[in-house]
Structure 1
Amino acid sequence: MKKSLYAIFVGLMVSLSSCDDFLAVEPPTGFTSEYIYSSESEIKAALAGVYSLMLRDDAYGNRLAYVYNSNTDVEMSGIATSAANVNGGDMACFEPKPYWTTLNGTWNTMYATINLTNDIIQGIETSELYRNADKTKTSTITQMYGEAKTLRAMLYLDLIRIWGDVVFRTVPSTSEEDLLVGVTDRNEILEFLIDDLKVVEPLMFYAGELDYGVERASREFCQGLIGLLAMNRGGWTLRPNVGNPASIGYMERGENHTHYYDIAIEYLGKVIDEGRHNLTLSFEELWNRENNWSTPHNDDMIFSIPMLKNSSSQFGYYLGIPITAGTHPYGGASGNLNLNALYLYSFDNKDLRRDVTCAPYRYNERLNQEIRLDLATLPTGKWSKLKMNNPLGVSSQAGTGINFTWMRFADVLLLYAEAVNEQFGPREDAKECLKRVRRRAFESSDWSTKVDAYVDVLGNKEDFFKAIMDERKWEFGGEGIRKFDLARWNKYSEVIYQLYHDMISWGKVANGGFDPHIPDAAASVYWQNIPDPNNSDRTILDIVGINEFVHARPAGYTEHELAKKWYALDNATESYEPIPTIRWSFRGFINYNNAAQVSPTDPLRYLCPYPSKVITDHRGKIQNYYGFNY
């Protein structure tokens, strides 16, 4: 059974008041501060409360797993109308609304969690245990101190990636405190967090030395997080036009960005050089283990937010392969997180990650596969209840207990390669990091062409960066980090602009049209049922038309139209046009009405507005920009 840190200490956790009021978190009740911070076991119990808060639906138990992460050239939520969704469903098309309760819920929960970390940090700093600790060597108290600071930094980074400039507090707040504060510049926050973590990192334990391994914030996670914070500080970000709140804003790279790439190289290099993680497990086995609540401390996973079975986690339910409930023991799964169909066709046919990441099917009540593939209807296969050796039961739904993967070693390798290339070009150590990721992605018999030759030919900075962009796309599909990568690269506008036009071109070519950049397209795929080799009473799909385009139905197969449907006759206009899902899925940036006026260099509004209640509570100290000023 998966060890879950916070579950062990749930009976000892400090209690918090409701987080309905921004940052109005009352002190722990029932225990005095002196009591809590007088023993390591009580501090550990308080720290477990941080992990528990992170599991709320408004945080990593739901919203941060998928709500804030699309649309991209990987994850895609299809939007088929130009009308706003009052419940918040339009987050993906770059038109979120300040009044959506989803935004307010996430803001409050993240700050309630940060406030608890601040309380723990202050409590440890003023405790006899910490004052008397030997600061020249790692101990339980220095680990917990660093752990609280590392979790706080992670929470702030996610807030910045959603909102940009945010309220920044490093001391506990109380309900009596004057909360009329404004936001702090995101670069100032990132710089503080980097310096803060540099101090605590040497006095933290590695995951292999911790009782719950990668389910706790470890030394190597702290190192990797410093690197990621530095990559964000050195990257691009959307800035507001303060003189014109109605403007989308502009993309800007912070001053002295090369200094932060140097920091990234140093700390990501530590994770690599210390050799405590590797990519030993196959890509398929990595995710099989995740679906079975088993996470080795020395392989790919570096930090995995622990979830609780039958209580928290959308992985395997919302994120995963759809399953219709029946008499089988796996329960149901909605599989509502989708990848876009062009992503499926971007993979090399021999890339082992493709068929793990992309699952163009669903399971019916008899657990037979059925085709599920369209423009924005492609389940991610990394998570599936059917991979569970011990299913959760016939009536199970969400609450799978599958962990939230926050950082992997593959991420560290590719970030390091990117940072080195940014500073020095495609140096040999950067190439080797890229090769390490690709070796796991291909059979060893293909390494000479798909790994060595593929990487060795990358002789300049631009080509190597493009390869890093592609590799991160193929490696992390469905994990929700593509949006943040595209933003810090200042490539979001360009990628979405190209994706919009590529989808239209695929539809035209599939219907006999011509496009010089797209010579062919998957007009249809063809499928037939075949016996499941592992389950004699079930069937799986044999799908033709993914490895190569097929334009005639093979005997015995059923046609499933794909790109042929993307450019079709509109009954209202009596002309052939792109389908509504293409027209409106990116409507906050490019859509059917404005496409002729949009440029790939125009800024894309990927940030969210501050919640209306936050604006009200701060009485003029916080203001919305980016066209959210209503």
Structure 2
Amino acid sequence: MKHIIIIFGIIIAGLFSSCQEVSADFLEAPAKSTLDESVIFSTPGLARGAVDGILEPMGQTNSYRGRFIPFYGFNTDTEWNYSSDEVGSSQGELMIYDAKPNNSQMNSTNNAWAMMYLGIERANICIRGLRTFGSPEPDTELGQLLGEALTLRAIYYADLMKAWGDVPARFEPINSETIYLEKSSRDIIYKQIIQDLEEASTLVAWPNENATTTSVEKINKAFVKAFRARLALVASGYQQYPDGVRRSNDSDLSVENMYRIALDECRSVINSGTVHLESSFEALWKSYNEENVTAGRESLWEIPFADGRGRVLFSFAVRHRSVDQYTGQARGGIAGPLPTVFYDYDQTDTRRDITCVPYQWGTAVNGISQQELVGSDTWYFGKYRYEWMTRFVTSTNDDGVNKMYMRYAEVLLMAAEAANELEGPAAAAPYLKELRGRAFDPSVRAEKVDNYVNALTNKQDMFNAIVNEHKFEFTGEIERKQALIRWNLLKTNLDEAKAKMINFRNRTGEYADVPTTLYYKYKGDNESLDIYGLNRGENVDPGVEYSAFGWNSLTDDQINSIYKVGVNPDERQFWPIWQVFIDGSNGKLFNDYGY
């Protein structure tokens, strides 16, 4: 069973005086050491403990664990959070593009913003120490550690800018003159971390090239290069600046420059042969839920949580209404796919039934629960399933399953996008075919993959296909919002999603042939549903052995909760900086974007 133990042996100053104590559930550590940095960062074993400590803030309750992972990334044209239509909900306003600086879920000194900067401070100390006192060369332990520290710092900054736009830039440890900093242009930060990742890629090993990189809980070269490609696309993409939604004005971050970096890095990962797609979409997600962290497969890097930390399944798994044969916690299901997403897939696409689940696990009787149909307004992310775990979760509020931060499928899709932009659709086609090919049975691949992709003969058609493929591949992985922003499609696609849900509710337009009644019976295991009526055109009663279930329950309030009525999502692409950090900034921080 995977388990991460993070040990750090240096005193690291927190960004804020109220930084929280390290939780014993996540961290097992001796008393903080007074060892000199010159000893720590010249000794691989001690330096390893310090670098691993950079990750620890992610496991704090109000950090990635309980706030950033569950709440960032909603709502999109494929996903919504089920608090969205709750009037006055502090969680809901985070999803509907109406967050306030004093939001009660987020406005605390130990929230994700503070924990990200605590991680950055730890990274800065490690980077300075390794450069000053170590010999961090390629193919050495200290070199691997420097590459990891640079990459982890880049992850924190990437997520800060994803959520808040322009933020303070700290690339050296805090001193008395730099306690309070103003926001920096995100362009400066993007250029720095893209440069840092170029250096890191020369220092860390490929997956399975050494003992450290045999697990996706450690940084490897394939991830570093893929992450650099992602950041290059984001940095050159559209996003909201204080003066409006636009691309960067910095010529270094031009589409030509950044897409070339992205394409080169993706091709480097692809040509390395060190990672690959899993054999099937179902195999990928079963392996993930089984907590297989072996490197060299599809997962590139995962945020590592110990068994008693992390809330990925707790938040996003198929809902379990009680403790039952599969889980010791009655959780899951705070969010799910939009009701239309299932019907946007080709019916033969094997990703559909893995991604979109129309049932929950009901209240257990004698410890055993059964699947139960839910309304057409409630779907669950089938990528996350307690019933696919090999470990029985006993914690009441954490599941311990890692967050898969990036996987190889994204490398193929980024390669297709960058190749299409720079070299045209013919250059993009092989990457799209490889990704799409896994989704379809060999018997239909000639039509659904080869013919489909070969028909994409101009850049716009290929781009539109890539946008759609991203939806089919990544729904439920909370990657869509940033992608829509950088494509300048956020409000456009959210409005389209609203219109599609109206058609779905009324069974008009593209959803005219979707049934309004489902029929179900239980399979031989007496817990799994056999469902008829989900597919388009299945409108005939299948017989007396099936029970009928009315299935048309979408309301105007739900449809409009994609984003708040009267709000323009393109003017609310980022969360506000929380009030506690503004108040504690000595007048340096303020909110843009009309907050």
- TM, length-normalised to structure 1: 0.85
Q: d(CA) in 1 for partners of 2:195 and 2:466? A: 27
Aligned equivalents of 1:14 and 1:383: distance in 2? 37
1:321-367 Cα distance to aligned partner (Å, 9 max, x none): 11133453522223222111111111111111111111111112122
Q: Distance in 1 between matches of 2:370 and 2:96?
A: 33
Q: Is the 8 A contact 1:95 1:588 kept in 2?
A: no
- Worse-superposed segment, 551-560 or 617-626: 551-560
- The aligned counterpart of 2:28 is none
- 2:530 is paired with a residue whose SS is strand
1:614 aligns with 2:581: yes
> Is the CA contact 2:15–2:121 (under 8 Å) kept in the aligned structure 1?
no
Q: Provide the C-alpha distance between the structure 1 equivalents of 2:501 and 2:582, rounded to a whole number of angstroms.
A: 38
1:521-560 alignment runs, 5 A limit: 522=514, 524-532=516-524, 536=525, 538-551=526-539, 553-556=541-544, 557-560=546-549
* Alignment correspondent of 1:407: 406
Do the aligned partners of residues 119 and 17 (structure 1) sit closer, same or farther apart at CA in structure 2, a change above 3 Å counting?
A: closer
Residues 553 and 627 (structure 1 numbering): CA distance in 2 closer, same or farther, change over 3 Å? farther
Q: Shift in Å at residue 553 of structure 1?
A: 4.3
Which residue of 463, 466, 481 maps to 1:465? 463
| Corresponding residue for residue 489 of structure 1 | 487
Letter in 1 for 2:217: E
Question: 1:250 aligned to 2:254?
Answer: no
- Summarize the alignment of residues 77-92 of structure 1 with structure 2, pairs less than 5 Å apart: 77-78=81-82, 83-85=87-89, 87-92=90-95
- Corresponding residue for residue 376 of structure 2: 374
Where do 1:144-543 residues align within 5 Å? 144-174=145-175, 176-208=176-208, 209-211=210-212, 212-241=214-243, 249-254=244-249, 255=251, 256-309=254-307, 311-326=308-323, 328=325, 330-331=327-328, 332-364=330-362, 365=364, 366-375=368-377, 377-393=378-394, 396-428=395-427, 430-508=428-506, 510=507, 517-518=509-510, 520=512, 522=514, 524-532=516-524, 536=525, 538-543=526-531
Cα distance, 1:23 vs structure 2: 8.8
Q: CA contact under 8 A between 1:82 and 1:587: conserved in structure 2?
A: no
CA deviation map 1:280-305 (0-9, x unaligned): 43211111111111133111111112
- 2:404 is paired with a residue whose SS is strand
Q: Which amino acid aligns with 1:560?
A: F
Which digits, 9 at most, give the CA deviation of each residue in 1:209-242, with x for residues without a partner?
Answer: 243522111111111111111101111111113x
Q: Secondary structure at the match of 1:390?
A: coil
Give the Cα–Cα distance (whole angstroms) in 1 for the partners of residues 566 and 343 of structure 2.
24
CA–CA separation in structure 1 for the residues paired with 2:259 and 2:95: 30
Query: How far apart are 1:80 and its partner, in Å?
Result: 6.4
Q: Does the alignment pair 1:586 with 2:569?
A: no
Moved over 6 A (4+): 22-28
Given the superposition, is the C-alpha separation of residues 49 and 161 from structure 1 closer, same or farther in structure 2, using an over 3 Å criterion? same
Please name the residue that 1:138 is paired with. 139
Looking at structure 1, the residues matched to 172 and 185 of structure 2 have their Cα atoms a distance apart, in angstroms, of 18
> Once the 2 structures are TM-superposed, how far is the Cα of residue 411 of structure 1 from its aligned partner?
0.5
Distance change >3 Å, CA 589–CA 17, structure 1 → 2: farther
Q: Is the 8 A contact 2:197 2:224 kept in 1?
A: yes
Q: Is the 8 A contact 2:236 2:258 kept in 1?
A: yes
Kept in 2: contact 1:317–1:385 (CA 8 A): no
Structure 1 vs Structure 2: percent identity of aligned residues? 27
Change in Cα spacing, 1:25 to 1:322, as seen in structure 2 (3 Å) is closer
SS in 1 for 2:357: coil
- Aligned partner of 1:605 in structure 2 is 572
The superposition leaves residues 248-283 of structure 1 with CA deviations (integer Å, 9 ceiling, x where unpaired) of x43445442221111111111111111111114321
Residue 52 of structure 1 deviates from its aligned partner by 2.2
How far the C-alpha of 1:580 sits from its partner, in A, is 1.4
Deviations 1:85-144 (A, max 9, x none): 3x33311100011012444411001110111011110111111x32xx5x4x42111110
Partner of 1:94 in structure 2? 97
Show CA shifts across 1:373-399 (max 9, x none).
432x21111111111233235xx4442
Does the 8 A contact of 1:71 with 1:92 survive in 2? yes
Query: What secondary structure does 1:392 align onto?
Result: coil
CA gap of 1:304–1:589, structure 2 versus 1, over 3 A, is: farther
> What is the rounded CA distance, in whole Å, between the counterparts of 2:517 and 2:123 in structure 1?
51
Answer whether contact 1:317 1:334 (CA < 8 A) is retained: yes
Alpha carbons 1:236, 1:251 under 8 Å: kept: yes
Aligned residue in 1 for 2:25: none
Secondary structure of residue in 2 paired with 1:62: helix
Indicate the larger mover: 471-480 or 545-554. 545-554
State the Cα deviation string for residues 475-494 of structure 1 (Å, max 9, x = none).
11111000011011001111
Counterparts in 2 of 1:608 and 1:382: CA distance versus 1, 3 Å? same
- Separation of aligned partners in 2, 1:427 and 1:22: 55
- SS of 2:233's equivalent in the other structure is helix
Unaligned runs of 5+ in 2: 23-30
CA distance in 2, matches of 1:25, 1:119: 19
Matched, 1:45 2:49: yes
The whole-number CA distance in structure 2 between the counterparts of 1:28 and 1:239 is: 42
Task: Report the equivalent of 1:63.
Answer: 67
- What is the CA distance between 1:79 and its match in structure 2? 5.2
d(CA) in 1 for partners of 2:323 and 2:194? Answer: 50
Q: Residue type of the partner of 1:181?
A: L
Q: For each residue in 1:388-417, what CA deviation from the matched residue of structure 2 results, as whole angstroms up to 9, or x when unmatched?
A: 233235xx4442221110110100110111
Give the conservation status (yes or no) of the 8 Å contact 2:57–2:119: yes
Whole-Å separation in 2 of the counterparts to 1:57 and 1:89: 19
CA distance in structure 2 between the partners assigned to 1:553 and 1:397 by the alignment: 42
User: Against the structure 1 CA distance between its residues 299 and 147, is the aligned structure 2 distance closer, same or farther, given a 3 Å change threshold?
Assistant: same
Structure 1 regions of 5+ residues with no counterpart?
A: 242-248, 567-577, 591-597
User: For residues 351 and 518 of structure 1, do their structure 2 counterparts lie closer, same or farther at Cα, with a shift above 3 Å needed?
Assistant: closer
Distance in 2 (CA, whole Å) between partners of 1:61 and 1:372 is 28
User: Quick one: which amino acid aligns to residue 124 of structure 1?
Assistant: L
Contact 2:222 2:275 in 1 (8 A): no
CA distance in 1 between counterparts of 2:98 and 2:53 reads 34
Deviates more, 1:523-532 or 1:349-358: 523-532
In the alignment, structure 1 residue 114 sits paired with structure 2 residue 120: yes
Name the SS of the counterpart of 1:405 in structure 2: strand
Confirm or deny: 8 A CA contact 1:307 1:313 kept in the other structure.
yes
* Aligned-partner Cα distance in 1 for 2:438–2:120: 37
Q: Which amino acid is the alignment partner of residue 579 of structure 1? A: D
Q: What is the deviation of 1:317?
A: 2.1
Moved more, 417-426 or 499-508: 499-508
Secondary structure of residue in 1 paired with 2:527? strand
CA pair 275-329 structure 1, distance change in 2 beyond 3 A: closer
Closer, same or farther in 2 for the Cα pair 1:447/1:552, shift >3 Å? Answer: closer
* C-alpha contact 2:146 2:203 (8 A) present in aligned 1: no
User: Partners in 1 of 2:62 and 2:426 — Cα distance?
Assistant: 42
Structure 1: distance between partners of 2:211 and 2:471:
32
Superposition deviation, residue 589 in structure 1: 5.7
